[in-house]
A and B are shown apart, each in its own frame.
Chain A
Amino acid sequence: DAGVIQSPRHEVTEMGQEVTLRCKPISGHNSLFWYRQTMMRGLELLIYFNNNVPIDDSGMPEDRFSAKMPNASFSTLKIQPSEPRDSAVYFCATTGGSGPQHFGDGTRLSIL
């Protein structure tokens, strides 16, 4: 089992640039979650999908953030334009049915 795979592991870019984070869920898992982790705010749920459909995006901070899940094996989280306050670790987690969530190793994003 390869686990949840996120890419890139690290991203450093200048403010104003577009950032795309990627996630490959565990095969067979039908729910996918995007989280953001910072020292100040802890772990925040941004959005989650069930069977590729966005169910709750109330945690998405603003219109600069968007997420897609075009198929069962791939999801993206995009920030455009990026700002320094978006610097954080972004996690993807997936689950099958009502089981526990399995997390990827995260993308550490730094916006200069």
Chain B
Amino acid sequence: GEDVEQSLFLSVREGDSSVINCTYTDSSSTYLYWYKQEPGAGLQLLTYIFSNMDMKQDQRLTVLLNKKDKHLSLRIADTQTGDSAIYFCAESGANNLFFGTGTRLTVIP
């Protein structure tokens, strides 16, 4: 079955860049997603990338996709304290999404 893996924790200093990594197994996934979950809230769609793209940039967010290695990353430039949250990577299945365990990003002031 599909397996999406992420590291559990990441700490960065305010103003630095954060890079959250994800590996997935299903090479036929059409879309790959990044969601953000703040405390007490649901998962909020941050950005997504189509599988035939290598990179997508959206303001402070940059998504890189390496299809050969099945590796996805999310870079947050100029990380702010408001970016502290859990970030989930997800790959699209036939009718569903498969989520990673989430990476808890802590931003140190």
Q: Assess whether A100 is in contact with B42, with CB atoms less than 8 Å apart.
A: no
Number of A residues, CB within 8 Å of B? 21
Contact with B along A79-111 (1 / 0, CB 8 A): 000000000000101000010111111101000
Contacts A104-B42, A106-B42 hold; do A50 and B99 have CB atoms under 8 A apart? Answer: no
The interface residues of chain B lying within 8 Å CB-to-CB of A48 are 95-96
What's the minimum C-beta distance from B29 to chain A, rounded to whole angstroms? 12
Q: Does A31 sit within 8 A of B, measured CB to CB?
A: yes
Q: Nearest residue in A to B102 (C-beta to C-beta)? A: A42
- A-B pair number, CB within 8 angstroms: 44
Number of B residues, CB within 8 Å of A? 19
CA distance in complex: A14, B69 (Å):
48
- Which residues 38-96 in A have Cβ within 8 Å of B in the complex? 42-43, 45, 48, 50, 55-56, 91, 93
CA distance in complex: A34, B97 (Å):
12
Contacts A91-B42, A103-B42 hold; do A43 and B102 have CB atoms under 8 A apart? Answer: yes
Q: Nearest residue in A to B30 (C-beta to C-beta)? A: A98
Q: Assess whether B97 is in contact with A101, with CB atoms less than 8 Å apart.
A: yes
Q: Assess whether B33 is in contact with A100, with CB atoms less than 8 Å apart.
A: yes
Contact with A along B97-108 (1 / 0, CB 8 A): 101011000000
The interface residues of chain B lying within 8 Å CB-to-CB of A50 are 95
Q: Assess whether B45 is in contact with A100, with CB atoms less than 8 Å apart.
A: yes
Contacts A42-B102, A98-B30, A100-B33 hold; do A105 and B42 have CB atoms under 8 A apart? Answer: yes
